[in-house]
Amino acid sequence: MPTNNSSNGSEREKPDGLAISRRAFLGVSAGAATAFAASRVMKRPEFSLVSPPDVNAEGIVTEEWVATSCLNCPTRCATRVRVVNGKAVQITGNPLSKFSEGETCPRSYVGLQVLYNPDRVTSPLKRTNPMKGKGVDPGWAPMSWEQALREVGGRLKSLRAKEQPHKLLLLYGLNSTSDEDLIQRFASAYGTPNVVSGEGLENEAAKAGEWMADGHYTDSAHDLERTNYILAFGASIVESQRPLARNLRMWGKIRRERPNRARVVVVDPRYSVTAAKADQWIPINPGTDGALAMAIANVIISEGLYDVDFIESWTSGFEEYRDLVLGSYAPEKVAEITGVDADVIREVARGFAHFKPAIAWRGRGAGCWPNGSYASYAIFCLNALVGSIDAPGGITYQETPKYRDMPQVVEDGISGEGKTKPRLGFDKNAGLLAEGVVTNQVADAILEGSPYPVEVAVGFGSNFNMSAPDTTRWDEAMAKVPFYVHISPGLTEMAEFADIVLPASTFLEGWAYEQCPPGSGFAEVKIKRPVVKPLHDSKPVAEIIFALATLLGGDVAESFAGIGNNAEGFVRYRTETIMPWSELCKEGVWVGPDYEYHKYDQIFSTPSKKFEFVSGNLEAAFKQSGSGRSDKLALLPHYEEPKFLGDDGTYPLMLVTYHPLLDIMNGNQNYPWAQEIYLVMQGQGWTSLAEINRKTARSLAIRDGDMIWVESPFSKVKARARVFEGIRPGVVAIAVGQGHWACGRWAKGMGVNPNEIIGVDYDRLSGQSSFFNTRVKAYRA
Amino acid sequence: MARWGMVIDLDKCTGCQACTIACKEENNVPYGSPEENKRRLVPYWNKVIAVSNGEYPSVNVEMIPMPCMHCDDPACVQVCPAKATYLREDGIVVQNYRRCIGCKYCIAACPYGVRNFNYKEQIEEEYHRPDLAPDRSVIGPWPFPQRTHGVVEKCTFCFHRIDQGLKEGKRIGVDVVPACVEACPTRARTFGDLDDPDSEVSRLLATRGSFRLREEMGTRPKVYYLSK
């Protein structure tokens, strides 16, 4: 790859002055030394105000600002990129975006290093070493696109010819909304029910919690701008909780840009960045957030602080809930479970009810547990208690843009039949509610070949070999897949198992549309357009899908006809009904109408058409599956003691993991800007640390900076110990995002990946992976 | 003549480090390696530092963004034997790379640790901005896109932006701000004329309690912090 500007004809000589030797200058400055003290303040010489800057002299031949959007995390912020002489040199927020009020976060700024990453794949690659495994050299041999597509297309074609399209498995990580739409369409047209996204790893319990109460299987949108009180359960809202850039912007707003400063209380065993910036940090026993939420409800109800109007008009099941809360969750009792003083519980409950409008925010720390759905249901119900449902400063219901509908896929017998086959990863207990994303069970399905073996797998930027608990299972599973095609800009861990790697362009080189994750309430569409021409020999994901569909021919190709014919055409086809194409290209965003609150007669999709403290949706799901519980308690928010993996005698410590802000969520971490300031609280970069409380460290004879083993019943990792006051005794915290063994020069071998030692467990209801219930021990290495 | 200063609201700042990266992006400041990071050789014109106090559970970690403080009485200027660093009339402390002899006295003298020595030849990245240069006649050749190794570097308050903005008649602090101020998603940073009572920086300082770092050193920094 070119390393200077010569490729676009803008090569310049060094500025003349630098040719003068340093010695010559020394003479000058020594002579002036006597006058030095007097002239410390130098007068700025006059210069001509009329002469325009000579842009060519500065090396600028062409310059433009391109409106596009980011894809370094699921927030997908609208950005503008400054392109000089055909090279992207600066990224900022797009001021026209209302979602984050024109701001964006540092993850966006790292985009330049995502684009110009020297370890990108430069051409399609073919595996020459038939052995697959962690650390096994695949023996990559470059091949042409034509050859690569023909080979992949051939495999897909023959699988379909055998009438076994369901044996194709599509995996995807972070992709643009339009690429996700195309991946889903491809699966449907081809005839496989097996489309698995990374979403299922971390976000399902939070979604299930809301679904039980109001029927919306989604993350919640929070009306941050107008809120007065945020109670965050395991949600590091200014560190990793999406929508991050919006959270950051609103943080500034609610703290100091209006007369009343919002109060923030963070419940988390770890002193997160959010806890550091909050008004109060409540270190809680890991996994007991649900109990704390129930105790807060106890105080609010017993002291009569709840919103009687809302409860009476728009909720059902309140009596059962009240009886449960008052009967079983007295603050003193819950104090023993959570390790949070009863007085603190009362104070927080009163604050929450008093400083309305208030938000109870359920995050990863509360949900990634076997009891995660119930905990998140319990937390979500607090919002209803204080009337924060569809109200200013409370929970809102995210509106989505109305894209132009695509025609139905053309279904032949093969694809129709394929889609009726059982989905991979669903023959286990977990995932009663999930709509098809028990991601981590897919590895088991591949390994066991059950209910049927996978013949071909295609991964779109996925990297479950890093992000899923017990990574070795994924290593074994991917090694077992007979033919795996990986599509991403870089050679990530998952790519190491591929038979063919197709170099995808980054998000700065292709067309796409994006919609924001729940957050703003109102809808917003962002566009992605090529800021520069695709580098190397890469192709945008959308182009690859269109090419494969064409190669497959027949009904698959027909399903992809008439929706724009290529990536740009597709984006235009889908968005043209929302905003004229030329305007959308120029402005980069479309903002929907203002949000309207209090739509109580429309928003609750529950049997009672009200907010439910006793979940009718859950009752129906239990009935339908036939395997669920039938007792009343199972339908109410409640606390269940989390089951741990590992006994507390041998493994006395609990392991919590977290996403630092500079964990770039595209499956890669090969970006020096992000790496060198990775852990802001610890002042360290290029690594992850085993953070441990001083008392715990002393009892284990561990000193700050020691190399230690953190060992679970399943595996162990060697990390540098960080003795830190900001963590609950008995807990070890390790940041995720490091510990790569592939990806490139700036990621490989830095820090450790805690997912290697985490056991496999699930939230029973949602099927989300349980990241936090693995016990560990720590000792000096 | 304006006297440029910056106000950083620590109640709004979340330590996200958008400023740190935006500064590197704007000014072509190189990134380091893990090894250079350990030896503290990586240049940052702006960095967020974390200061911990207290014991569990009443721990407190302050995250403090650290640009150059642009002192009105800068220690670095006093000790520089080559007159390479000086205070502009508008209050910005500038480093002239042509004059710098790399003796590092200023680094030792600076109470804030915000000066960096450039140890190596710069690798030219594709994303480096090819332009920049404020007025060359004023401060001499600006080392872009190639930097000069063997000299001391530091935050400039992005004076290339300010000078250009003034030429174009733009409002400094409103239309034109340093890169770190522009990048801050919480809008914790404000830039403007400390001598102008109507500027946003003056307004903030009048309405909120503020402090400066190491005021007892008598350096009179022009970066103010608003406390939580």
Q: What is the CATH number of the domain that holds A96?
A: 3.30.200
CB atoms under 10 Å from CB of A16, counted, come to 10
Task: Print the domain residue range for A144.
Answer: 125-202+408-507+538-562
Q: What is the mean pLDDT of residues B118-128?
A: 87
Among all chains, which residue has been given the structure tokens 């050789």?
A: B41
Spatial separation of the C-alpha atoms in residues A348 and B158, rounded to whole Å: 44
Same domain, A171 and A253: no
Contact criterion met (CB < 8 Å) for B61 and A12: no
CATH-assigned architecture of domain B14-185: 2-Layer Sandwich (3.30)
Of A271, A273, A680, the CB nearest to B59: A271
Number of inter-chain CB pairs under 8 A, A vs B: 233
Every domain of chain B and the residues it spans: 14-185
Same domain, A482 and A387: no
Put simply, whether B77 touches A (Cβ < 8 Å) is yes
- Residue closest to A58 by CA, chosen among B134, B220, B185, B207: B134
A605 in a structural domain? no
Share of chain B above pLDDT 90, in %: 78
Helix axes A567-575, A541-552, angle to 10 degrees: 100
Spatial separation of the C-alpha atoms in residues A424 and A441, rounded to whole Å: 8
How many Å lie between the alpha carbon of B71 and the closest alpha carbon of chain A?
12
**B contact residues 199-218, partner A, Cβ 8 Å cutoff:** none
What mean pLDDT, rounded, does chain B reach? 91
Contact criterion met (CB < 8 Å) for B18 and A686: no
Query: 3-class DSSP state for residue A378?
Result: helix
Contact criterion met (CB < 8 Å) for A17 and B26: no
Which residue in chain A has the smallest CA separation from B228? A277
What is the predicted pLDDT for the residue at B228? 82
Same domain, A669 and A752: yes
**A contact residues 76-105, partner B, Cβ 8 Å cutoff:** 82, 84-85, 87-93, 100, 103-105
Q: What is the mean pLDDT of residues B63-77?
A: 97
Same domain, A358 and A231: yes
Residue A655 forms beta bridges with which residues?
A732
A624 in a structural domain? no
> For chain A, what is the domain count?
4
Contact of A457 with A171, CB cutoff 8 Å: yes
**Which residues of chain A does B82 touch, with a Cβ-Cβ cutoff of 8 Å?**
25-26, 29
What is the predicted pLDDT for the residue at A2? 37
A120 in a structural domain? no
State whether the Cα torsion A452-A455-A461-A465 is positive or negative. positive
Same domain, A572 and A544: no
Contact criterion met (CB < 8 Å) for A673 and B50: no
Of B77, B83, B186, the CB nearest to A249: B186
Contact criterion met (CB < 8 Å) for B148 and A682: no
Lowest mean pLDDT segment, chosen from A88-92, A456-460, B90-94, B148-152: B148-152
Same domain, A390 and A349: yes
Same domain, A383 and A278: yes
Token readout for A431 is 């995932």
The interface predicted TM-score (ipTM) is 0.95
Q: Residue A417: give its domain's CATH number.
A: 3.40.50.740
Same domain, A228 and A366: yes
**Which residues of chain A does B148 touch, with a Cβ-Cβ cutoff of 8 Å?**
18
**B contact residues 78-107, partner A, Cβ 8 Å cutoff:** 78, 81-84, 86-90, 98-99, 101
What is the predicted pLDDT for the residue at A337? 97
Put simply, whether B42 touches A (Cβ < 8 Å) is yes
**A contact residues 718-737, partner B, Cβ 8 Å cutoff:** 724-729
A771 in a structural domain? yes
Same domain, A391 and A413: no
Contact criterion met (CB < 8 Å) for B77 and A252: no
Same domain, A319 and A172: no
Token readout for A627 is 């395997």
A533 in a structural domain? yes
Token readout for A411 is 């279904």
Q: Residue A728: give its domain's CATH number.
A: 2.40.40.20
Put simply, whether B197 touches A (Cβ < 8 Å) is no
Could you check whether the bond before residue B145 is cis, i.e. omega within 30 degrees of 0?
yes
Same domain, A102 and A174: no
Q: Are strands A63-69 and A78-84 parallel, antiparallel or unpaired?
A: antiparallel
Same domain, A333 and A482: no
Contact criterion met (CB < 8 Å) for B98 and A18: yes
What is the predicted pLDDT for the residue at A210? 96
Put simply, whether B186 touches A (Cβ < 8 Å) is yes
Spatial separation of the C-alpha atoms in residues A281 and A270, rounded to whole Å: 9
**Which residues of chain A does B61 touch, with a Cβ-Cβ cutoff of 8 Å?**
271, 276, 681, 726
**Regions of chain A where pLDDT drops below 50:** 1-57
Contact of A33 with A498, CB cutoff 8 Å: no
Token readout for A560 is 């992809």
Among all chains, which residue has been given the structure tokens 């495999």?
A: A155
Which of residues A397, A429, A446 is at a domain's end? A397
- Residue closest to A740 by CA, chosen among A663, A668, A632: A668
Which residue in chain A has the smallest CA separation from B208? A256
Contacts of A504 (CB under 8 A, 6+ apart): A460, A461, A487, A488, A489, A538, A539, A540, A541, A544
